[in-house]
Chains A and B, each alone.
Chain A
């Protein structure tokens, strides 16, 4: 055995090591993905199985009698079995509220993050800490007064009301993230562009913004997922289909005594799919910041 390996030239040994390393990495990734996906997968599979399979012991994984019945039920396409729920409406509300609050939060956060990353000004630390602490306010301290305030202003049961609240939740976080990413970008780049004749504003859009794309993309993904999945405030500030979001609609499947697992799972699948798709699309920008290439660090 040893004779074979010693006869291999050094480059071949290195590539064998690399190959083994690649296999290990892939094994690790696959294992991690399985652990991450397994519980969630149960929910997805349950959406396609009849109720009696949910109760089986030992647990049935792959549906033995796969069915689309659960989806039809919640859309109201099987009226003799069950009233439908206004799922399409919930979906639309979720989409509008999440996308709007994400886009605005990223823009406002980008402005704030840039301010913290590039400027020195009076009250900077205080303001930064204040933003952080604004997230430390416990939900119960916030929820009732917020409700009273919103009802006085007429924002209860409106998408705008929820969007505003989600902005407040997401902004501290987009600010910190973008602040971190802007700091990674050397100031010299912007200065070089300005020497070449750009205004500071142009330098930002041409140089710093593209480089911070990965940071902005991650900030956007988080803000979106936080808003998309948020339950407590949405359930409080929404009333009817005018503003009810999907997670709130999920609770419609819990009656006083029973949990309709198949219905809830079908709803969960409807919640997950758009999130997955949007995440997949936005990710393109996550690696855009990789091209650090010809820049002196």
Chain B
């Protein structure tokens, strides 16, 4: 009996310490009265909502935030490069992105020493790992992007379609599991000009990324360990052939080689596409009846796997970084953590973005269910699962430059100007030149 009381008391004491321990594990945002923190943020209607939390941080810490620039991300990248070039880094915090971060050299600091480990543990581990460059945490992730499948439920549920598909391919008509399935379904559903199987990003980093996704799903990669370009391997040729096949079959709009994300989104929302491998940011757009025609016909599925049995998982995160030139790094780090804490991430998630904090996923699904957004509630668990295999592009400064020699060749092959192998070989030769100039390729 006494032993039982002792054990209970010990347990209770342990629990109490545990509770108070938890209380101490709350991040300390610090106090910076009278300090003005200069920040450069990505602007645009998609991103501004989060900044309404800034006054809360100002009240919490006593500091003031001065937004010295607010631009779309292309212009912001250009601006930051100019700042580096002219030595004009007068701000402390800046918006960043995993695809762009490697270019900025040592402009940003490693934040790991300034944030307690238990706070960092609250972030999605894969996302946080992707935010590191050479082991340095140069950015705190804000929202993550990874692609999965949106599809038209009615087309898949249609009995005639199901019968025809089963007869043709011997499988049941269901959201595709492999890229081969996806290709078959794209060609199967296409009834131009009113309905196409899908549309894909045909230019800029989007095209290179989609190609890279299939390449990786097939077991290949852009570079090997020594930074020699390897995307012209058989897996790469197969990946490029995948695009060429659906283009030649006219299962995609002819203009897709010029499409950016917005055109694909517009086409899907207009009911022109059967299937769309696309980003979470579109879920809100597609499921809003005032903006899209397919709002009540939207299904979600995980992205397909390639011949290697894995997903391509092309992913990237928007983030915040703190500059080396900052004169009050703790304040900047404090704001970065604040803008990516559980409450901030909840706000981003409610808008349909993928949060970077593990706890938020379950919370936001409950919120969607309570607020009559069943589509988004159905989507999140699928997207969360797919983050397990999330992979960023190669985190090197030359990534954009390499991408710029790859996508024109992809286009050339898709429209039939050259064959896939020749196109990829030329791109690989150009990329090799770039890597050699950069001193990364050790030959």
Within 8 A of B (CB), among A231-289: 235-236, 239-240, 251-260, 263
**CA gap between A50 and B288 in the complex, in Å:** 12
Q: Are B68 and A240 neighbours in the complex by a CB distance under 8 Å?
A: yes
- Measured between beta carbons, the chain A residues less than 8 angstroms from B126 are none
Q: Are A147 and B86 neighbours in the complex by a CB distance under 8 Å?
A: yes
**CA gap between A257 and B351 in the complex, in Å:** 14
Which of the 9-residue segments A19-27, A51-59, A124-132 touches chain B? A51-59
A148-B86 contact, Cβ under 8 Å, with A82-B45, A252-B43, A254-B72:
yes
- Cβ of A184 < 8 Å from any Cβ of B? no
- Measured between beta carbons, the chain B residues less than 8 angstroms from A134 are none
- B interface residues, tally (CB under 8 Å): 41
Which of A54, A254, A257, A260 is in CB contact (< 8 Å) with B279? A257
- Smallest Cβ distance from B330 to chain A, in angstroms? 25
- Cβ of B69 < 8 Å from any Cβ of A? yes
- Measured between beta carbons, the chain A residues less than 8 angstroms from B47 are 255
- Measured between beta carbons, the chain B residues less than 8 angstroms from A236 are 78-79, 82
- Cβ of A188 < 8 Å from any Cβ of B? no
Q: Are B270 and A258 neighbours in the complex by a CB distance under 8 Å?
A: no
Q: Are A256 and B73 neighbours in the complex by a CB distance under 8 Å?
A: yes
Q: Name the residue of chain A whose CB is nearest to the CB of B291.
A: A51
Which of A235, A258, A263 is in CB contact (< 8 Å) with B285? A258
Q: Name the residue of chain B whose CB is nearest to the CB of A235.
A: B75
A57-B270 contact, Cβ under 8 Å, with A148-B85, A239-B68, A258-B265:
yes
- Measured between beta carbons, the chain B residues less than 8 angstroms from A157 are 68
For B81-114 the 0/1 string (1 means CB < 8 A from A) is: 0100110100000000000000000000000000
- Measured between beta carbons, the chain A residues less than 8 angstroms from B86 are 147-148, 151-152
A252-B45 contact, Cβ under 8 Å, with A55-B292, A144-B82, A257-B262:
yes
Pairs A–B under 8 Å by Cβ, sample size 25: A51-B290, A52-B289, A52-B293, A56-B270, A83-B51, A85-B45, A144-B85, A148-B82, A148-B86, A235-B75, A236-B79, A239-B68, A239-B69, A251-B71, A251-B72, A251-B75, A253-B45, A255-B45, A255-B46, A255-B47, A256-B44, A257-B281, A258-B46, A258-B282, A263-B45
Interface residues of B (CB under 8 A from A): 43-49, 51-52, 67-73, 75, 78-79, 82, 85-86, 88, 194, 261-262, 265-266, 269-272, 279, 281-282, 285, 289-293
Interface residues of A (CB under 8 A from B): 50-52, 54-57, 82-83, 85, 144, 147-148, 151-152, 157, 235-236, 239-240, 251-260, 263
